[in-house]
Chain A
């Protein structure tokens, strides 16, 4: 805090200005979390409905959009029931501990270029560390509820979260070998240039420079392992044994009602955003756009349209046309990386110059879109896959994901520190071909 000039000067006293700035930023963030969680519940029910060939919520406002406001109001005015056998202090404290763990992660996320609410140079380590507060809060909730179902649910949930932190940590470690820094903003910036396997390191390759394309299939495997671990971290299906209604009533938040329950709910959705945000920063380019220049955007649309038309003409189905569009736009961006303009076109975004408000808005738009896309996939998986039994869940983590993550780490380490082997291989292949 020593030599920091606060961005907004209200009173002129540095101490008071500091507090007011921190309060304002946290106020904005908490409101964003609340609105996002509310709309997310509506989106989940709507998506669930449409995937199950029904409409979901329909009656309140346009297509049921007011359902989340109605739910929030209902939770706020519900009676606050605390059972007799509970440990009252811990019972009241635990929703706030869980929410504090989730919220403390939100302040370190790189929403916009070059500014985070709290900019650490140990970014990702801080995020992994304060997510541990969520586990403690869950244990606190399960114990103080005074019911054995809550306790079992809490212990299973805590064991699941703590177990899946191991493959998550190892995959992120592999990506950190590539980026060389723990700072989230630097990691986003490092995905601006470079084509897969370290070729043409100065090319702005758009989505081909992203983390999950860095070393071909290995970083893609890392992304998938991370995503599966993230599903388990947030207790989402197929890993929602602790919250499944047919299994343990509602797990660790069985005894909670009204506003206390809504805090747990809020924390779950906030946690979903945090793990999606970490995946976005490490694997999907953070706030970078998928195409780095207007030339690449045009090439991606043209390529996507061409391949979509081809796929539709061949198969006559909309799904194949969509896949064709996605593949085509990727190829268009790759084509533009080889033939398009190089150098500092627009370092961060392809629409607005660096360090301007437009770049911040654009960066925030791309970051949020990628996070929401990952959250949509989480919701999609919830209504697609059946639930894992708890022993199957642990088996998956320790016997399958962790060894795979270790092997992946080894391979990424070899690829990262010995690029000359790969370049020599390419040279040899070229010589053999000629």
Chain B
């Protein structure tokens, strides 16, 4: 693995350790204020993990709403529901073995499901395109070359891997030229043909909708065989996840967005009413 991948792995494991440490401290601390500040560590680590997964808008929203809103509310509630004189607030718990065993069983079952039974689909599936009497299978991947990118999907970074597979090549194919087009932009990569899967990486693609096709050049023939999937957008490149979220919130999720706004208004009014100080006559 190259250095950036090592660094990203190290960052992931450090953040995971911080999140788990914080979660265990929330569950087991005897001081409720320490619990609340351990929750701060969990929320920040979760935000950093979203950033590692390239969901930058969600990371910022998490810190803004969870840390800046909910955690401040929780700390205020902790401070308002105790007398001021006890600094080391006790946080009693009933640590029965039943609860602990129940949680361990839950964790065990989740681990079994995650690691052993579930087959998480990675590949985006191939598109079969007829070319010159044979069938070519086209596939596209995200930047690492192994995580699939569905046709019509989005890449959150400017690097994409395109691949082509011929079942039985009819004649000897020399080179495969992968060409990606988006409006006025065009990127081309030429790769020598390999039996099985031929892959090429495209770097530094600017944002936009991209359509790609491959040209197989056969020695002895002038015209290259062009292989193209269905017309239209094959994938779109976005920097970060802000624009897809915005388009989805203004598109299919518009009604849900408005309903959540009304619900937040109701929560605001309800909370202000519930927490009012009764004026005793």
Q: Report if A and B touch in the complex (beta carbons < 8 A).
A: yes
Give Cα distance in the complex from A204 to B57, angstroms. 33
Neighbour of B7 across the interface among A1, A85, A125, A130, CB < 8 A: A1
Task: Please indicate the chain B residues that have their CB under 8 angstroms from the CB of A89 in the complex.
Answer: 34
Task: Please indicate the chain B residues that have their CB under 8 angstroms from the CB of A122 in the complex.
Answer: 56-57, 60, 240, 242
Please determine whether B37 and A132 come into contact, CB atoms closer than 8 angstroms.
no
Task: Please indicate the chain A residues that have their CB under 8 angstroms from the CB of B56 in the complex.
Answer: 120-122
From 12 to 58 in chain A, residues with beta carbon under 8 angstroms from any chain B beta carbon are 13-15, 18
**How many Å from the CB of B57 to the closest CB on chain A?**
6
Q: CB of A129 within 8 A of chain B?
A: yes
Task: Please indicate the chain B residues that have their CB under 8 angstroms from the CB of A136 in the complex.
Answer: 37, 40, 67, 71-72, 75
Q: CB of A135 within 8 A of chain B?
A: yes
Please determine whether B79 and A155 come into contact, CB atoms closer than 8 angstroms.
yes
Give Cα distance in the complex from A2 to B145, angstroms. 14
Report if A125-B60 is in contact (Cβ < 8 Å); known contacts: A133-B67, A135-B72, A143-B79. yes
Neighbour of A2 across the interface among B60, B87, B143, CB < 8 A: B143
Give Cα distance in the complex from A86 to B33, angstroms. 12
Q: CB of A275 within 8 A of chain B?
A: no
Report if A15-B3 is in contact (Cβ < 8 Å); known contacts: A121-B239, A122-B57. yes
Task: Please indicate the chain A residues that have their CB under 8 angstroms from the CB of B84 in the complex.
Answer: 148, 151
Give Cα distance in the complex from A131 to B64, angstroms. 9
Q: Pick from B34, B44, B72, B242 the residue with the most CB of A within 10 Å.
A: B72
Report if A139-B75 is in contact (Cβ < 8 Å); known contacts: A87-B88, A182-B242. yes
Q: Pick from A131, A139, A155 the residue with the most CB of B within 10 Å.
A: A139
Task: Please indicate the chain B residues that have their CB under 8 angstroms from the CB of A225 in the complex.
Answer: none
**How many Å from the CB of A159 to the closest CB on chain B?**
8
Please determine whether B242 and A126 come into contact, CB atoms closer than 8 angstroms.
no
New contact pairs (4) apart from A121-B56, A144-B33, CB-CB < 8 Å? A15-B3, A121-B239, A125-B64, A136-B72
23 contacts between A and B (CB under 8 A): A2-B143, A3-B159, A86-B87, A87-B33, A87-B34, A87-B87, A89-B34, A90-B34, A120-B56, A122-B57, A125-B61, A129-B60, A130-B63, A132-B63, A132-B67, A132-B68, A133-B63, A133-B67, A136-B71, A139-B72, A148-B84, A151-B84, A162-B72
Interface residues of A (CB under 8 A from B): 1-3, 13-15, 18, 85-87, 89-90, 120-122, 125-126, 128-133, 135-136, 139-140, 143-144, 146, 148, 151, 155, 158, 162, 165, 182
